[in-house]
Chain A
Amino acid sequence: MSSTLIAGGVFVAFVLLTLAITIWASRRATSIDSFYAAEGKISGVGNGLAIAGDFISAATFLGLSGLTFIFGADMLVFAIGTTVGWALVLFLIAEPLRRMGRYTFAEAVSYRLSKGPIRVFAACGVLVVSTPYLVAQIVGSGTLVEALFGIDYKTAVIIAGVLLTVYVVIGGMIAATWIQIIKASLLIGGGTVLALLILASFNFDLGQMIAEAQAIHPLGDDLLAPRNYFANPGSAFSLGLALALGLAGFPHLMMRFFTVKSVKDARLSAVIAITINALFMLAVFIIGLGAIPLLAGKAQFFGTDGAMIGGANMVAIHSASVVGGALFLGFISAVAFATILAVVAGLTLAIASAVSHDIYATTLRKGKASQASEIMVSRIAVVATGCMTIGLGFLFEGQNVAVLAAIATSIAAAVNFPVLILAIYWRPLTTWGAVGGGAAGLIVSVVAIILGPDVWVKVFGFATAIFPYSYPTLAAVPAAFGVAIFGSLADKTKRGLMERGITNDQ
């Protein structure tokens, strides 16, 4: 049996399993509580696995192993950044968020402020942050399936888009959470086994593996030295800041803290996510380094032009084929695809809840919408998001997945994080200060990305970038904090003064 058939069989089995879970979940998702927040019944351990599953996406598993393969030790800046980001979520965000919100990110932000403008702003923030991340995932899924099975890219994107829509429309948060838990367990298990099998290829001698990698890599001994990926210190600090602060700005990650029953469970969720993230990053680092000597000289993984088939993002998949044969290749590729699917489902749910709960039910219907109509609007939003995702997947074919994901993280750090942290801890924050701060973060982010090297130079073809860094965080986060703080202090409107008075009474 060919490896493609085996891989296809494992993939179909996995999809059927997750669909069965979705149907099971749909019988439990009878209320609005269960659709958005799984009735707060997810355990701390289960939620920690689901959070880790939400974050360990195509960009993490496929993108970072590819980054290590090309640039070596600079990948560790990503690894530590995301782990520190989770730690900050645990220490500063998880507990108050669990106490403040019920279903959505916007509820937590608007807890002490005027609900209308904040909810509309926060819902827009959800859409702005989630869309590029969604595009990164769907482009990754199309590329993966295209390279693995020889299916046309557009067909692969349509399959992924339809599947995610079915998952979320039928099952809601319960289905999305259980798929994340199973997928995260399999991905973490599969990634660990892959790292161990790679190490076994070198008799578990890390020194030998590194020496062989350095002997054939263009960077030589500098493979484990810093500054191979980052063009300048500002880019490194900007990315580091984005990773450390951006996680708390991702609504699809933060709304998972509403699915547990207690603050203790919220803390446990974050600790599990930190541990899994840190250990998985080390496994990805080993996979990326080990792939250098493992794949060298194997013609089946390289095209006639000498480039790797599917690009560097396929390093982990090709390595699975070398060390584990067709069955393991099928398992890893199916889990990688399901990873993308599950992350997209979580993002879609975040967008759907922002549209149906924050904009439709609370802002437009002033809290008078029935539960049935709200769930109906949510499902329509899911279908619309699925269609939009497929369309954007076509449009962004061939784009770098890791860059798109990092840009989304930068925007999340600039738009959502400053407003969320000030809403929780800074009493004088007013509604217009929060809206102004978030808007400033968004505008500076977008302008800096357009004027930066990735768009201004690579897309528009200018010689030098006006904004020197790929990631806008260094400029956008201070701008968002500055406008939110000074805007609140300068807010002399009746509502602003009243809000500060109300806040002081709390």
Chain B
Amino acid sequence: MTEERWQPSRLALFLSAALSLSYLLYIAACMFLPDMMSQKLGAFSLAVIAAVVLLFANIIASVLYLFISNRNDDANDANDAKESQK
């Protein structure tokens, strides 16, 4: 296993930090600003709408990561194959 294998990609670090932070902010808003999060937006409250947005943000981020990581792996494999041919 090469050294860089142990390092998470910048994308993985960015997405991990962004999703964790947004979750902590959601909890903080619910706990410290309950009046704001209780405000109605149509039939729902801001707390419900923010939660649904966060859930879909997690799905989109993970699909994005899958495609980018797989594409990078394919590119690396192609480079390795070229190197070995040389």
Contact = CB atoms under 8 A, between A and B. Distances in A.
A237 interface: yes
A87 B19 contact: yes
B63 interface: yes
A74 B30 CA distance: 9
A91 B65 CA distance: 8
Nearest to B2: A506
Contacts of A232: 31
A281 B56 CA distance: 12
Contacts of A425: 6-8
B23 A210 contact: no
Contacts of A90: 62, 65-66
Given A91-B65, A240-B24, A506-B1, A224 B47 contact: yes
B38 A91 contact: no
A173 interface: no
B27 interface: yes
A421 to B, nearest CB: 10
A341 B43 CA distance: 38
Contacts of B32: 233
B55 A281 contact: yes
A236 interface: yes
Contact of A88 (B7, B16, B42, B63): B16
A497 interface: no
B80 interface: no
B5 A96 contact: yes
Given A240-B27, A244-B23, A225 B5 contact: no
Identify which of B27, B28, B63 gathers the most chain A CB atoms within 10 Å of its CB.
B27
Contact of A226 (B3, B24, B30): B30
Interface string A204-239: 001100110000000000101111001011001100
Interface in A277-330: 278, 281-282
Contact of B43 (A207, A233, A264): A207
Interface string A46-88: 0000000000000000000000000001101101110110111
A267 interface: yes
A236 B30 contact: yes
Nearest to B50: A76
Given A83-B58, A271-B63, A278-B56, A227 B30 contact: yes
Nearest to B31: A233
Nearest to A91: B12
Nearest to B53: A80
Contacts of B38: 222, 224-226
Contacts of B19: 84, 87-88
Given A90-B65, A96-B6, A240-B24, A226 B47 contact: yes
A230 B31 contact: yes
Nearest to A275: B59
Contacts of A281: 55
B27 A274 contact: no
B55 A278 contact: yes
A237 B27 CA distance: 7
Identify the interface centre among A244, A267, A425: most chain B CB within 10 Å of its CB: A267
A504 to B, nearest CB: 10
B18 to A, nearest CB: 10
Nearest to A214: B43
B81 interface: no
Best-buried of B24, B48, B70 by chain A (most CB within 10 Å): B48
A264 B73 contact: yes
A424 B58 contact: no
A10 to B, nearest CB: 31
A73 B38 CA distance: 10
Contacts of B63: 271, 275
A263 interface: yes
B69 interface: yes
Contacts of B6: 96, 424-425, 427, 506
Contact of A77 (B12, B13, B27): B27
A5 interface: no
A263 B52 contact: no
A282 B52 CA distance: 8
B79 interface: no
B23 A80 contact: yes
Given A210-B43, A236-B31, A73 B70 contact: no
Interface in B25-79: 26-28, 30-32, 34, 37-38, 42-45, 47-48, 51-52, 54-56, 58-59, 61-63, 65-66, 69-70, 73
B62 A76 contact: no
A66 to B, nearest CB: 18
Given A76-B51, A92-B16, 16 more contacts: A73-B48, A87-B15, A88-B20, A91-B8, A91-B13, A91-B16, A207-B42, A225-B45, A226-B34, A227-B30, A233-B31, A240-B24, A244-B20, A267-B70, A275-B62, A506-B1
Q: Which 9 A-B pairs have CB atoms at the shortest separation, nearest pair first?
A: A207-B43, A226-B30, A225-B38, A233-B31, A76-B51, A224-B45, A91-B12, A278-B55, A83-B58
Interface of B: 1, 3, 5-8, 12-13, 15-16, 19-20, 23-24, 26-28, 30-32, 34, 37-38, 42-45, 47-48, 51-52, 54-56, 58-59, 61-63, 65-66, 69-70, 73
12 contacts: A76-B48, A83-B58, A87-B61, A96-B5, A207-B42, A225-B47, A226-B38, A233-B31, A233-B32, A240-B23, A244-B23, A274-B62
